[in-house]
A = this chain, B = another copy of it.
Amino acid sequence: MKSKQVTIKDIARQLDISPATVSRALKDHPDISKTTKKAVVDLANSLNYQPNSIALSLRSQKTFTIGVIVPEIIHFFFSSAISGIEAIAYKAGYNVIICQSNESYEREVANINTLLSNRVDGILISISKNTRDFSHLKKVVNMGIPLIFFDRVCKDIKAHRVIVEDEKGAYNAVNHLIKQGYKRIAHLAGPETLEISKLRKKGYLKALEENNIANNPDYTIVADNKKDGYHGMKKLLSYAERPDALFTINDNVAVGAMQAIKESGLNIPNDIGIIGFSDDQKITSLVEPHLSSIAQPAFQIGQTAGELFLKQITNPDNQDFEEIVLETELIIRESTDNRKTLS
């Protein structure tokens, strides 16, 4: 679907303003009004405008700074990914500045604007779970600044992406439970807005189907944190036919569920087996029994995102974007192993 390349002049003509104004609007220049900027950016997006290398070379000199935006640094997964980004960035002479969106769309927009006015050479982002409008990210692309998505990505923007095999990881987790002899497998699932929640749910359902286990819709409950995990498990335990195993969207949810199971006097793994999906490798070996989990290569995700940035900055004209899918690992610990009573 090759078409004639849209230029700044085309945008200027359609809006009846000068090419210089369009150019400065795309660079978020302070002299240009917000109304004009919005009109230019909207039109550039709808025409699928891509800056060419001449426009790019007109950008001011490099700052050797990369901006990273994540939902929350307090999560081990994101701070590990940032360490991976830094490992690559430092070696190539870049420094890294980090912003948190705190799962707020408005804060994410403010972060993008802060990083742009700091003239970062690239932006690496894992989007907030409340981001549904992507024009702040399209603006980055329009300005010719490399944009890399990792973990939580936006499929509608032409940019490099790094994700993990969420569906296959979930499939492996549930398959493992089935091999251990568990039959009534529940799923404490993530918020449905996130792509990763959908993929992990899909993997769960696929493993059930392949093993001829009927899906009981009551066995899927949305639970996003430790407290939710506790209450979700309480509900599952109240069923006449309670589950004998559980796959959780993340390890924090698993920890909450384990607490509910212990309080009920049931044994892990004999009465109920439980497996998580690791956002925090540290937790799995602190809880008792140690928690089986699907390990995500958070550091490697960051490294790969950093490498894709370097690739793009050395060839800014590149429009051939990659989606790199990293493997997960099934780590079997006490919570699903050495089961003594088969039900």
Chain A positions near chain B (C-beta within 8 angstroms): 63, 65, 67, 72-74, 76, 79-80, 82-83, 86, 90, 95-100, 102, 107, 110-111, 114-115, 117-118, 255, 283, 286-288
Contact = CB atoms under 8 A, between A and B. Distances in A.
30 contacts: A63-B117, A72-B79, A73-B73, A73-B79, A73-B98, A74-B76, A74-B79, A74-B80, A79-B79, A82-B100, A86-B100, A86-B102, A90-B107, A95-B99, A95-B111, A96-B99, A96-B100, A97-B97, A97-B98, A97-B99, A97-B114, A97-B115, A97-B118, A98-B98, A98-B100, A118-B118, A255-B286, A283-B286, A286-B287, A288-B288
Given A72-B79, A79-B79, 7 more contacts: A63-B117, A73-B98, A74-B76, A82-B100, A95-B99, A95-B111, A98-B99
A40 to B, nearest CB: 24
A111 B288 CA distance: 40
A3 to B, nearest CB: 38
Question: How many copies of this kind of chain does the complex include?
Answer: 2
Contacts of A79: 72-74, 79
Among A73, A255, A283, chain B packs the most CB atoms within 10 A around the CB of A73
Nearest to A120: B118
A97 B70 CA distance: 12
A297 to B, nearest CB: 16
Nearest to A68: B98
Contacts of A115: 97
Contacts of A117: 63
A287 B86 CA distance: 31
A283 B107 CA distance: 29
Among A72, A96, A287, chain B packs the most CB atoms within 10 A around the CB of A96
Contact of A114 (B65, B74, B111): B65
A207 to B, nearest CB: 29
A28 to B, nearest CB: 14
Contact of A82 (B73, B107, B287): B73
Contacts of A96: 99-100
A79 B288 CA distance: 26
Contacts of A82: 73, 100
Contacts of A86: 100, 102
Contacts of A65: 114, 118
Contacts of A255: 286
A126 to B, nearest CB: 14
A63 B117 CA distance: 9
Nearest to A286: B286
Nearest to A83: B74
Closest 4 CB pairs of A and B: A74-B79, A98-B98, A286-B286, A73-B73
Contacts of A67: 97
